[in-house]
Structure 1
Amino acid sequence: MARPRKPLLSRDRIVDTALALIDAEGLDAVSTRRLAAELGVSGPSLYNHVKGKDEILDAVADTVVGQVDLSMFDAASGDGAGAGVDWRTALLTWARSYRAALAAHPNIVPFLARGPGRRPAGLRMADAVFGAMVGAGWPPAQATRIGALMRYFVAGSALGSFARGFVDDATAYDPADYPHLGQAHLLADHQQQVDEGAFETGLTALVDGLALQYEQMRVS
Structure 2
Amino acid sequence: MARPKVPLLSRERIADAALALIDRDGLTELSMRKLAAELGVQAASLYGHYPTKDEVLDDIARGVMARVDTSAFESGDWLAGLTGWARSYRAALVRHPNFVPYLASGPGTREENLRAADAVHGGLVSAGWPPREATMIGAATRYLVMGSTMGSFSRGFEDDAQVYRDRYPHLDQAHLLRAKADEIDTESFELALTAFTDGLRLRYERLSPTHVAH
Q: What's the TM-score, normalizing by structure 1?
A: 0.88
Deviations 1:186-211 (A, max 9, x none): 11111122111111000001011111
Deviation at 1:47, TM superposition (A): 2.1
* Distance (Å, rounded) in 2 between the aligned partners of 1:87 and 1:182: 42
Q: 1:42 to 1:174 in 2, by over 3 A?
A: closer
CA distance in 2, matches of 1:146, 1:76: 18
User: Deviation digits for residues 95-127 of structure 1, max 9, x if unmatched?
Assistant: 111111111011100111111212111111111
Q: How far does residue 156 in structure 1 lie from its aligned partner after superposition?
A: 0.5
Q: Percent identity?
A: 58
Question: Which residue identity does 1:76 align to in structure 2?
Answer: S
User: In 2, distance between residues paired with 1:46 and 1:17?
Assistant: 12
Residues 1:76 and 2:75 aligned together: yes
Measure the CA separation in 1 of the matches of 2:44 and 2:170: 58
- 1:60 offset after TM fit, Å? 1.0
Which ranges of structure 1 fall in alignment gaps of 5 or more residues?
Answer: 78-85
Are 1:76 and 1:132, in contact at CA under 8 Å, matched by a contact in 2?
no
Query: What per-residue deviation string (whole Å, max 9, x for no partner) do you get for residues 158-193 of structure 1?
Result: 111111111111111134x32211111111111122
Question: 2-side partners of 1:131 and 1:206: how far apart?
Answer: 20
What is the aligned partner in structure 1 of residue 184 from structure 2?
194
**How far apart are residue 2 of structure 1 and its match?**
6.8
Equivalences for 1:175-214 in 2 at 5 Å? 175=166, 177-214=167-204
Give the aligned partner of residue 139 of structure 1. Answer: 130
Letter in 2 for 1:219: P
Q: Where does structure 2 lack aligned partners over 5 or more consecutive residues?
A: none
Distance 2:33 2:52 in 1: 10
Which amino acid counterpart does residue 127 of structure 1 have in structure 2? D
Deviation at 1:29, TM superposition (A): 2.3
Structure 2: which amino acid aligns with 1:70?
A: T
By how many angstroms is 1:44 displaced? Answer: 2.7
Which letter maps to 2:209? V
Q: How many residues of Structure 1 are paired with residues of Structure 2 in the alignment?
A: 210
Runs of 4+ in structure 1 displaced over 3 angstroms? 1-8
Q: Distance in 1 between matches of 2:104 and 2:66?
A: 15
Cα deviation, residue 3, structure 1: 8.4
